[in-house]
Structure 1
Amino acid sequence: MSDGHAPIWRHLIELIVERDLSQKSVLDFGCNQGGLLRHLYALRPFRKALGIDIAEQSVAKAEAFKGNIPVQHAVGGTLEGWIEEFDLAISHEVIYLIEDIDAHAADIFKALKPGGVYYAVTGCHTDNPLWPKWRELVAQRTNTIVQDRSITDYAKAFAKAGFQVSARKLEYDGFIPYFADGWTPDFADALDYYTQTKIVFRLIKNQTGAAS
């Protein structure tokens, strides 16, 4: 996601319940070029953060762009070795690309400290009225196996991992930029997507750290 979507990022950050991150460790899973973490640090400075992504070029750019903020970037698709390290985790339009969502949920659960929170955001689900068209675009543009999962499917996977699951619509309340990117050629669809379709999961790891 490009910095052109910064207003959406800022809205998402405003939805994060945890206000003071000054002593917190943060994870951005699927960080791309690191823009979300840079925006988060500007608005709510954190103690340290890790941005991880499977794309080496994106991670290299994230590292080049980070400036002096306390962020480490890494190439990868799992969090092996990161055990109870993070207070807060975020992923933005990443979970729909993950083939084994159960493994991902368990991975994040292990990486969070007891009481840690994961905000997972996606509008790519089968409850999205545009999904029949989008699944073709996903296949063409990402070279991944398309996952047909509903909002409930995601909720069940995270609950299975031990998370306390809740969610809300993103309900972006600002002016939505028009992008001729093929995803929403009808601008009315874009307005609906950012206000009604895009979902923010808030997933809490219980204080004991044990899966239920």
Structure 2
Amino acid sequence: MSENLINTWSKRDAEEDSMTTEHAWIWREMIAAVGETDFTNAKVLDFGCNQGGFLRLLYDLRRYAAAVGVDIAQNAVARAEAQKGDRPITYRATDRLSDIGDGFDIAFSHEVIYLIEDLERHAGDIRKVLKPGGDYYAVTCCHSDSPLWHSWRPKIQEFSNVPVPNHSVSDIAEAFRRAGFQVSVQRFLASAYVPLGGASDYFPTDVDRIETYSRWKLMFQFTSGA
């Protein structure tokens, strides 16, 4: 039985509900960045799936054999399950990857890894569920090396229903190296068109938005050893 479940990630319902629309363009870039991987026979994991939009989009673009989305936010998982249609997806509200079995070919997370307090435990859990040679792609711009993180972190903590740690890029990389992964990274959106929405709570200017997405939003590739 999972012990650390919550109802929602955010105290702001409207913000949580808008994530699918706001993140869809980023999810498309994530899928493109993986390259021409054949997902036909793949078993896919989405860690921190929220309302399930990433796995729905991935299936619509690249048919896979089966997928599991996990999240600790029970209301979000219920909405994900209700919206999956006939796609071969199982959504689970759990904080334990041991609940979902193993044999995954590939795993993803988007803006989730920065909220994980114990990175070494997370890395070990991911390795246990991945096949040897499997890849985990984790995307985030929330890390202490980003110039805007010092202002973002208290803002996120105000509405987050979980604590917000303070990880650096090196902290993330080292945790996965110690778990036996090969670690690599790319500047995730360096060549993508970035929607410019003007000043916001997170981006004082459009230039800040461009800099964050082109320099500080990173896509880690963690490849599991034998």
Asked if 1 retains the 8 angstrom alpha-carbon contact of 2:196 and 2:206, the reply is no
Choose from 115, 120, 123 the match for 2:138. 120
Answer yes or no: is the 8 Å Cα contact 2:194–2:210 preserved in 1: no
Query: Which deviations, in whole Å up to 9, do the C-alpha atoms of 1:108-156 show, x marking residues without a partner?
Result: 0101011111001111101100011011012112133321111111000
Separation in structure 2 between the aligned mates of residue 179 and residue 80 of structure 1, nearest angstrom:
43
C-alpha RMSD of the superposition = 1.6
**For residue 68 of structure 2, what is the aligned residue in structure 1?**
50
Deviates more, 1:80-89 or 1:3-12: 80-89
Bigger mean CA offset, 21-30 vs 168-177: 168-177
Are 1:12 and 2:27 matched, yes or no?
A: no
Gaps of 5+ in 2: 1-18
Matched with 2:218 is: 199
TM-score by length of 1: 0.92
Task: For 1:175 and 1:134, locate their aligned partners in 2 and report how far apart those are by CA, in whole Å.
Answer: 19
Provide TM-score, normalisation by structure 2. 0.87
Q: Which residue number in structure 2 is paired with residue 188 of structure 1?
A: 207
Aligned structure 1 segments of 4 or more residues deviating by more than 3 angstroms: 81-84
Percent identity between the aligned chains? 45
* 1:203–1:5 Cα change, 3 Å: same
| Letter of the 2:170 counterpart | T
Distance 2:94 2:197 in 1: 32
Kept after mapping to 1: 8 A contact 2:108/2:137? yes
CA deviation string 1:156-197 (max 9, x = no partner):
001011111000011251242427762224222111111111
How many pairs align? 207
Choose from 62, 77, 99 the match for 2:117: 99
Where does structure 1 lack aligned partners over 5 or more consecutive residues?
none
In structure 2, how many angstroms separate the alpha carbons of the residues matched to 1:190 and 1:113? 37
